[in-house]
Structure 1
Amino acid sequence: MRLPTGPRPSRSRFFAVMAWVALAVSVAGFSKTFFLPLAQGTFVPLPAAYVHGALMFSWVLLFALQATLIGARAHGLHRRLGWLGVLLAIAVAWSTVAIGMQGVQRDVAAGLGPSATSGIVGSCTAMLGFLLLVAAAVHQRRRPDVHRRLMLIATIALLWPAWLRFRHLFPAVPFPEWVFAVIAADSLLLVMAWHDWRTLGRVHPVTLWLGGALVADHVFETLAFDSAGWRVVADFLVRVLD
């Protein structure tokens, strides 16, 4: 009689590897605009920058640790740390909107005109999507195949600013908003789809529909950013949040 052996090791390892890749992207993306200036004493931050940076990197590090714990079958510790992750997700969302508003105030003071408020839209919509994905993952925590994919997509969604900052590492690359913030940022979703196809024989519905929605969001945001309609929404959000 063939006994069940649990999840295939390759499946468990995949999500752990992807989590550590996410951490590497975060460090590399912010190396030239955060880590190196910080080490050189030339970093001039917004007031919330240190708190926001600590929270964001804590999330990615916790996600990597959680995926590694599952691979090591440390399920009890994984569950206990999961509730810390819920609080951390809320703090990440709060700090992202807070630093977004500080960026608006800085850009208004610098005289950037109507474009000064545009960045707040992406901050708010990204955090709304992130929190919804995390909430769905918590709700589906007894379905590992769904839970792990929701958490990975939520983390991939957080990496967008890090990917965009790759333009500072490769300034000669044309159209960085497309190359880094869409193509590179969504490449991890394609890797997820490939993994699904290889291990399941199909693309998992979570990867297909929610990963596809994230790609659509990135494309729409890149096309619509700083348009007249975008500025209307941005000005409304600034009035609400100010």
Structure 2
Amino acid sequence: MATQAQRAGAGAGVDRERAFFFAMAIAIVVTTVSGFALQFAMGRSTLASPWWVHLHGVTAMGWLTLYLTQNFLVFRGTMALHRQLGFIASAYLGWMVAVGFSVTTLSAITHRIPFFFEPNVFIVMDWTVDLLFAGLTWTAVAMRAQPDWHRRLMLCGAVVVMTPGVGRLLPLPLMGTWILWSIWLVMAVYVAVAMAFDVLTRGRVHPAYLWGFGAITAAIALMRPLAFSPPLLSLTKTLMG
């Protein structure tokens, strides 16, 4: 009887955790889409952008759709399909990085960097975000045999993907040199919610969040120093003519 009760309790815990990660995936997708929708509603974004801008948007939304679908499959217990899609997602990561780097480079060459960004900071921010997302997600895939680490590192990677959407929700032109940290603060809220869930259900924060959010924080802290290093200043000047 005691053993059966323990198994039932463990099963309920797994279901609760799966539901939480699915809910977080929905929140991440809604936040990201809301940022772009707000810009369209305010007339600041149009469909007249170059094709490569649209390709980037479709690519990012494709990833978010995959992430949401994967969490839904886990929530439903459809693990076989989840694993099959995982192989597709792993390959998709490389495409995400290639498109991200290309679009940032083209934005600099064609002078499409938002006026409120220092060009060198924008370039470093975008490239670093691409690498950070890929690093966290590939690490999560490598640790798929440990679901507790896998889910949490995937969540951290998805939080990083929110960056463009979050940036469009914030009044960035008013934030000056605090743009990067304002975006970090929003990401911190999502990770803090996940940490709080761990404390409530496990009694402690899982170390995956310490590593994942630690990497995010370190990346944010390094962006401006890297952006103003001589090699990046020289590269920015070369790209922008």
Alignment-derived partner of residue 20 in structure 2: 14
Find the partner of 1:163 among 139, 163, 166.
Answer: 166
Which structure 2 residue ranges, 5 or more long, are not aligned? none
Alignment-derived partner of residue 84 in structure 1: 88
Q: Which amino acid aligns with 2:53?
A: A
Using the TM superposition, name which of 150-159 and 117-126 deviates more.
117-126
- Alpha-carbon separation, structure 1, partners of 2:226 and 2:142: 35
Structure 1 residue matching 2:18: 3-state secondary structure: helix
Q: Deviations along 1:189-212, whole A, 9 cap, x unmatched?
A: 111111111111111001122212
Q: State how many pairs are aligned.
A: 231
Alignment-derived partner of residue 228 in structure 1: 228
Q: Deviations along 1:12-60, whole A, 9 cap, x unmatched?
A: 111000000011011101113357759x9x4331331111111101111
- Is contact 1:119-1:234 (8 Å) kept? no
Alignment-derived partner of residue 216 in structure 1: 218
Find the partner of 1:150 among 132, 149, 153.
Answer: 153
The verdict on how the C-alpha distance between 1:20 and 1:105 changes in structure 2, with shifts beyond 3 A counting, is same
Query: Which residues in structure 2 correspond to 1:1-242 (within 5 Å)?
Result: 1=1, 2-3=3-4, 4-5=7-8, 6=11, 7-34=13-40, 42-107=46-111, 115-167=118-170, 177=179, 180-221=182-223, 224=224, 228-229=228-229, 232-233=231-232, 235-236=234-235
Structure 2 residue matching 1:107: 3-state secondary structure: coil
Deviation at 1:234, TM superposition (A): 5.2
Q: Which amino acid aligns with 1:93?
A: V
The verdict on how the C-alpha distance between 1:139 and 1:237 changes in structure 2, with shifts beyond 3 A counting, is farther
Structure 1 residue matching 2:126: 3-state secondary structure: helix
Deviation at 1:109, TM superposition (A): 10
Structure 2 residue matching 1:203: 3-state secondary structure: coil
- Is contact 2:136-2:154 (8 Å) kept? yes
Which structure 1 residue ranges, 5 or more long, are not aligned? none
- Alpha-carbon separation, structure 1, partners of 2:211 and 2:89: 24
Structure 1 residue matching 2:145: 3-state secondary structure: coil
Q: Deviations along 1:158-201, whole A, 9 cap, x unmatched?
A: 11121111136x98x76672674122122101111111111111
Q: Which amino acid aligns with 2:191?
A: L
Q: Which amino acid aligns with 1:201?
A: G
Structure 2 residue matching 1:48: 3-state secondary structure: helix
Structure 1 residue matching 2:111: 3-state secondary structure: helix
- Is contact 2:128-2:219 (8 Å) kept? no
- Is contact 1:34-1:43 (8 Å) kept? no
Deviation at 1:92, TM superposition (A): 1.2
The verdict on how the C-alpha distance between 1:191 and 1:105 changes in structure 2, with shifts beyond 3 A counting, is same
Q: Which amino acid aligns with 1:104?
A: A
Deviation at 1:154, TM superposition (A): 0.6
- Is contact 1:137-1:151 (8 Å) kept? yes
- Is contact 2:32-2:165 (8 Å) kept? yes
- With normalisation by structure 2, the TM-score equals 0.82
The verdict on how the C-alpha distance between 1:87 and 1:239 changes in structure 2, with shifts beyond 3 A counting, is farther
Q: Give me the identity figure in percent.
A: 24
- With normalisation by structure 1, the TM-score equals 0.82
